[in-house]
A and B are shown apart, each in its own frame.
Chain A
Amino acid sequence: MATNEILIKELADQYGRERTSLLSILHGVADKNNFLTEEDLTVIAKELHLSGAQVFGTATFYSFLNVVPRGKYVIRVCKTISCDMKNKDEIVREIENMLKIKAGETTEDKKFTLLFTNCMGWCDKGPSMLINEIPFSDLTREKVHGIIKQYSDIED
């Protein structure tokens, strides 16, 4: 039994069972769990009378929807040119050193995932990054160290 079955049914009741409701429902599930499982997508397909492949296709199209397991806090460092020129590599290195993971990976305690993102429109305040939905800008090594430390200290 898919753990999110009830949630998905509620979301389908709320948004409707048309194909156009798919994205809202995917978001609703992703908000709760950070990533979408095979079971989630199967239940959604069933509710909306779509094929699994169609739901998978939509879910993988959007970078902010994940179909592979992600940590509780997903860090997305801007990889676009302005942030790159302002030394985003140094920021990434600092995070990688602190969390002992490489970009694209998730920490063993499933707390953090480090990813890249395209431009978020913070070019004047680069380098910038997101942790889940919260943006951080004007980053320096020291500043990012403090931010990651803060998140690490949050008890589950």
Chain B
Amino acid sequence: MKKIINLTIDDQKIAVDEGTTILEAARKSGIKIPTLCYHEDLCIAGNCRICVVEQENMRSLPAACATPVSEGMVINTNSTKVRNARKFLVELLLSEHNADCTACVKNRHCELQTLAEQNHIREHTFIDLKDDKNYTIDKLSPAIIIDYSKCIRCQRCVRTCEEIQAISALSAAYKGKDMKITTFFEKPINTVVCSTCGQCVAHCPTGALTEHFYIDEVWDAINDPDKHVVVQTAPSVRVALGEEFGLKPGTIVTGKMVAALRRLGFDEVEDTDFTADLTVIEEGNELLRRLKAKLADKDESVKLPMVTTCSPAWVKYCEHAFSDLLGHLSTCKSPMSMFGALSKTYYAEKFKLDPAKIVSVAIMPCIAKKFESNRPEMRASGYKDTDYVLTTRELAIMIKQAGIDFNTLKDSSFDSLMGVASGAGLIFGNSGGVMEAALRCAYMIVVGKDIPFEDLSITPLHGSEGEIVEMSVKFTGTKPEWSFLEGVTVNVAHANMLSNAYKIMEEIKNGTSKYHFVEIMSCPGGCIGGAGQPLPTNKAKRTARKEAIYSGEKLIEIRKSQDNPEIVNIYDDYLGKPLEEKAHKLLHVPGFTPRKRY
């Protein structure tokens, strides 16, 4: 039992558990203390001091986020002293900040700008120092752009990279007025050990860290009468895009999203969920092939557990951190890259189009997908498979640019050929979804029956974010060709956030891993918490999106990837058998690229 502490905040008597901070105590009582370097996903830093409050009988102003409550404490969050201090702090931050707000992508989404507004800042109290600072912009990465003139050194990115992803590509360097957030030896971010997950972008309060925008390139393609522009949308975009237009987190806007894409001028609107189904078939079969090779044929060169590769930041991280374990990675491309390759082969053939004139665009919840699409491996079609990747936010910008009133759009549905998906494809958006979809598929192949869960919903896999979720599946009543799996228990696990991936991979490295199949997603909660999703990011929003995916799946009749008629068609008409020739060439990577660890 925790000790209860009694205190007073703004004349309200409050009782909270010992160890609660002043900020948490205030929030519980409906008192809002503004913050900046504080983020609920991250540890306390207490460096911006925006949350200062006045404590009775104390001369200095403590930071509410970093000060635990104590018995009898009397706090005032709204004294003249506090208001003046807060304003002063914002003014100091602005004196070093490139506050060219109208030309900033974070305009109206910037936490510093909001604080400037709330604190009624109407003049430049301090000398503008930004011209003396020699600020630079690093725009060499296809994924992440760093504009140092907008950095306020709150270190949210530093904490994100260390705590969520266990990478620490960014760190505070130098000191005092010269302190800056930077990489190893201030190198461009695309040359250092960085997964390009973009969670730093998602946690940045200002416009210092942003994605690399490709909006203009996509407009150019749409406006070029010579080009046929096909667009795909990832599962988790449809449960988040609405937030950009004032809808509640978790609102499913699939129909409006498709309608908007048509209005923007895309020639064909298809669904990444379709290639998610394809990934399930390929990956499920790859898993079974590996299990057979290892368990039945005793082939020791085959690596288990097999680890999923849908998350591009995870793949790049693995290439850096575990370059000797790349044999564990499934060779399946991500659904996006499968779609890219098929858009310039299968799709081009079916619609009698010149693949050179097809521009393939992907709307993704993800920043690392921008890196993935630029990989040399992703050119199986003979062209760049996916030409441009836009984040959910970039799509929202385009919709706003075009003057489309999103909320009044009439629902539209995806085009055919690569636009039908099963529920298994949709749940890819959640951490654990790939695993669930693959188990449904593999169980059917091996046993010839549905996996025994009500509604095919494998709820033990619906774990909460940041956890390593484990499960065991026992195969009984196997078909004759899979008899080696009779009575075998297959251990699976899934995890999100690369700090968890590290733990799983260390076990594999040490030979202590008991798993056969592992799914890893880089971002908190999986793709629904991707770095390309509407901001700000927080657990409540991610949970709402996650629930929307699971409830959205319930509305889809087809629940297994192999039951998707368009999937049946593509194998019959074009690909042949899973893992074989054409499927192998277009849907699998030839290998991975070991990268430097340090």
Do B173 and A57 have beta carbons less than 8 Å apart? yes
Q: How far is the CB of A55 from chain B (nearest CB, A)?
A: 8
For residues 19 through 54 of chain A, which have their beta carbon under 8 Å from a beta carbon of chain B?
Answer: 38, 41-42, 45-46, 50-54
Do B173 and A52 have beta carbons less than 8 Å apart? no
Closest to B169 in A: A53
Bound-state CA distance A55–B173 (Å) is 9
- Please give, as numbers and ranges, the residues of chain B lying within 8 Å of A52 by CB-CB distance: 183-185, 192-193, 598
Do A53 and B598 have beta carbons less than 8 Å apart? no
Do A53 and B597 have beta carbons less than 8 Å apart? no
Interface size on B, residues (CB 8 A): 17
Bound-state CA distance A55–B171 (Å) is 9
- Please give, as numbers and ranges, the residues of chain A lying within 8 Å of B453 by CB-CB distance: none
Do A67 and B185 have beta carbons less than 8 Å apart? yes
- Please give, as numbers and ranges, the residues of chain A lying within 8 Å of B170 by CB-CB distance: 53
- Please give, as numbers and ranges, the residues of chain A lying within 8 Å of B192 by CB-CB distance: 52-53
Interface size on A, residues (CB 8 A): 16
Q: Judge whether A14 is part of the interface by a CB distance below 8 angstroms.
A: no
For residues 48 through 68 of chain A, which have their beta carbon under 8 Å from a beta carbon of chain B?
Answer: 50-57, 60-61, 67
The one of A41, A51, A61, A67 in contact with B168, judged by C-beta atoms closer than 8 angstroms, is A51
- Please give, as numbers and ranges, the residues of chain A lying within 8 Å of B167 by CB-CB distance: 51
- Please give, as numbers and ranges, the residues of chain B lying within 8 Å of A51 by CB-CB distance: 167-169, 171, 184, 193, 598
Q: Judge whether B174 is part of the interface by a CB distance below 8 angstroms.
A: yes
- Please give, as numbers and ranges, the residues of chain A lying within 8 Å of B173 by CB-CB distance: 53, 56-57, 60-61
Bound-state CA distance A118–B598 (Å) is 34
Bound-state CA distance A42–B597 (Å) is 10
Do A56 and B597 have beta carbons less than 8 Å apart? no
For residues 62 through 79 of chain A, which have their beta carbon under 8 Å from a beta carbon of chain B?
Answer: 67
Bound-state CA distance A52–B175 (Å) is 18
Do B598 and A45 have beta carbons less than 8 Å apart? yes
What does the 1/0 interface line of B150-191 toward A look like (CB < 8 Å)?
000000000000000001111111110000001111000000
Do A53 and B174 have beta carbons less than 8 Å apart? no
Known: A57-B171, A61-B173. A46 touches B597 (CB 8 A): yes
Bound-state CA distance A46–B321 (Å) is 11
Closest to B184 in A: A52
Q: How far is the CB of B502 from chain A (nearest CB, A)?
A: 11
Q: How far is the CB of A29 from chain B (nearest CB, A)?
A: 16
- Please give, as numbers and ranges, the residues of chain B lying within 8 Å of A42 by CB-CB distance: 598
Closest to A53 in B: B171
- Please give, as numbers and ranges, the residues of chain A lying within 8 Å of B168 by CB-CB distance: 50-51, 53-54
Do A41 and B174 have beta carbons less than 8 Å apart? no
Bound-state CA distance A67–B186 (Å) is 11
Known: A45-B598, A46-B598. A53 touches B175 (CB 8 A): no
Do A38 and B193 have beta carbons less than 8 Å apart? no
For residues 86 through 141 of chain A, which have their beta carbon under 8 Å from a beta carbon of chain B?
Answer: none
Bound-state CA distance A57–B171 (Å) is 6
Bound-state CA distance A51–B317 (Å) is 13
Bound-state CA distance A42–B596 (Å) is 11
Can you name 24 A-B pairs with beta carbons within 8 Å? A38-B184, A38-B185, A41-B184, A41-B185, A42-B598, A46-B597, A51-B167, A51-B184, A51-B598, A52-B183, A53-B170, A53-B182, A53-B183, A53-B192, A54-B171, A55-B184, A56-B171, A56-B182, A56-B185, A57-B171, A57-B173, A61-B173, A61-B174, A61-B175
The 6 closest A-B pairs by CB, nearest first: A52-B184, A51-B168, A57-B171, A53-B171, A60-B173, A57-B173
Interface residues, chain B, with chain A CB atoms under 8 Å away: 167-175, 182-185, 192-193, 597-598
A51-B598, A52-B183, A54-B168 are known contacts; what are 18 more A-B pairs with Cβ within 8 Å?
A38-B184, A42-B598, A46-B598, A50-B168, A51-B169, A51-B184, A51-B193, A52-B185, A52-B193, A53-B168, A53-B169, A53-B183, A53-B192, A54-B171, A56-B171, A57-B171, A60-B174, A61-B172
